[in-house]
Amino acid sequence: MKKGTITTLALGSALLAAASLVACGGGGGGSAALPSSGSPANPGTTAQSGTHLTVKIDTAAPARKGGAKTRHLSLSKHRMYVSTAANGLQVAVTAGTTQTIYADLSSSSVLCTSNGPIRTCELTIPTVGASESIVATEVDEKPTGESSAGYGTGFPSNSVILAVGTTTATPTLGGVTNLTLGLGPVAGGQFYDCATYWYGPTANFNIDQSNDTGTSRIVVTAGFAQSVVLAPEFCDASGAFLDYDATPLPFVDVNGSPTPITLAASTSSITLQPVPSTPPGLPAFAQTASIPNSGYEWDYCVFMVNANISSGLSAPAPGATPPTIVVANNLTAGATIGVSGPYTQTYTYNVAPVAASTPSGPPLSASTNSTQTLTGSDWGATTTGMDAESGFEGADETCYDSVTPTQVDATVVPSGTFNTTTYQQGFTITAEAAGTCTFYLDDVNTGVVTKPITITVGT
């Protein structure tokens, strides 16, 4: 799996500093064929009139949270996304006609030099008119037809587009023009969830995480208002992580069009709020939310999203699907690029409210050791299912008296196995001593409990 960092890209002499950040998870895929427009330029290896381009790539593997300390260098107004997987850059300059360069950014390129983990590549872009449009496209492949000068005639059809940037310029003909062009990241790889790596539960919730399948199970207490902190992680199309701290640039598609990451809850009982790391303040909670750019990157690693769950959220009916929060990549691609890779992804959080029915049966009597029954609901739990306890992380299968804490008023024992189709578990309550006591049912995987269940045992 490739692990990405963010560095910077500058046109001309406005050279920007690099920042290396942490990551978590991996994966991804996708490919796109780049168009060839106009005659390819071959600027050679020596500086000449036109626009000079400096690209910096930080090839160091990022550290996980709790590992090596995050390195933080100075930031600039214009930030660019350069993936660790970047091996090539296409720059098309148009003013009536188009000239395009296809530059080799790999470690073996004559255009590049390395100083530790930082690889610096010096390019020259041709000047073709008094008023130009410039499109830069970063890919993970070296150019085809490469000359000894480090420039080629195109890119392979399986090249993965990692970032795109566009700008306009009014160069000085016959001179050197200094420009700065931002590249926005193409969120084209798998999403992951980083929450359980380093964020504990808020109120009654926890997460069963399954990065490889693109889903996580958020386990909450039904009928209880609570807040959840989500931490979805995005990758570019090569599987490198979109982890960076920068002046916000939009997420873009392979044509450079902004394409925000969106989140949508399947019920109005769940509302969402991205957490920005830069001003302005927090947006309002809503059933849908948008992460348009890196301004919502949080804690130098992931994108934080608050989710409020109302007390009205109840457990799904037996066999029914649970409420969901779906993170979606809205990337689109024009036919001119000919995208063939899976650029559109989703990450689904299944919200599983743990619940218990009201105990039913004759009044409980200590003298007869009478019994009652109840049913627990725990969507998506494994075969270990549910358990009963006197309190959160308390003694299993017991209900301690509210006045005399050492007295067991009743036992609460599973009746039969957990049903992995209905996601229900039956329990039998057996009276032991007269008194009033409280117990919970809990999800064994995460320890999340139901609302308290209070019973009274008569003499």
For the chain, which residues make up each domain, given as ranges?
9-185, 192-233+255-354, 357-458
Predicted pLDDT at 117: 85
Predicted pLDDT at 301: 58
Which residue did the predictor score with more confidence, 297 or 30?
297
| pLDDT tens for each residue of 70-93 | 222 222 334 567 788 889 999 999
Position 452 pLDDT exceeds 80: yes
322-327: average pLDDT: 93
Sign of CA dihedral 356, 361, 365, 370: negative
Position 268 pLDDT exceeds 80: yes
Predicted pLDDT at 282: 87
Q: In this structure, what are the phi and psi dihedrals at residue 197, rounded to the nearest 5 degrees?
A: -70, -40
Predicted pLDDT at 21: 21
CA distance 402 to 410: 12
Predicted pLDDT at 376: 97
CB 220 within 8 A of CB 353: yes
Whole-angstrom distance between the N-terminal and C-terminal Cα of the chain?
Answer: 64
Predicted pLDDT at 13: 25
Q: Which of 29-43, 186-200, 359-373, 388-402 has the lowest mean pLDDT?
A: 29-43
The CATH code for residues 192-233+255-354 is: 2.60.40
Predicted pLDDT at 48: 45
Predicted pLDDT at 171: 79
CATH number for domain 357-458, candidates 3.30.1340, 2.60.450, 2.60.40, 2.60.120: 2.60.40
Which residue did the predictor score with more confidence, 261 or 10?
261
pLDDT band at 393 (very low <50, low <70, confident <90, very high): low
Position 361 pLDDT exceeds 90: yes
Specify the pTM. 0.78
Position 66 pLDDT exceeds 70: no
Which residue did the predictor score with more confidence, 217 or 285?
285
Please identify which residue in the block is written with the tokens 């470690």: 107
Q: In this structure, what are the phi and psi dihedrals at residue 268, rounded to the nearest 5 degrees?
A: -70, -10
Position 67 pLDDT exceeds 80: no
Domain 192-233+255-354 matches domain 357-458 at the CATH topology level: yes
Position 386 pLDDT exceeds 90: yes
- Tell how strand 88-95 and strand 184-185 pair up: unpaired
> How large is the greatest C-alpha to C-alpha distance in the chain, in angstroms?
103
Which residue did the predictor score with more confidence, 455 or 342?
455
Choose among 234, 334, 286, 256: nearest CA to 23. Answer: 234
How many other C-beta atoms lie within 10 A of the C-beta of residue 164?
A: 22
| pLDDT tens for each residue of 132-176 | 899 999 888 999 999 999 999 998 877 888 888 888 888 776 667
CB 271 within 8 A of CB 45: no
Predicted pLDDT at 41: 53
Q: Which of 3-12, 200-209, 374-383 has the lowest mean pLDDT?
A: 3-12
Q: Rounded mean pLDDT of the chain?
A: 76
Which residue did the predictor score with more confidence, 366 or 230?
366
Q: Which of 30-34, 295-299, 306-310, 317-321 has the lowest mean pLDDT?
A: 30-34
| pLDDT tens for each residue of 376-385 | 999 999 888 8
96-117: average pLDDT: 93
pLDDT band at 200 (very low <50, low <70, confident <90, very high): very low
Which residue did the predictor score with more confidence, 448 or 29?
448
pLDDT band at 23 (very low <50, low <70, confident <90, very high): very low
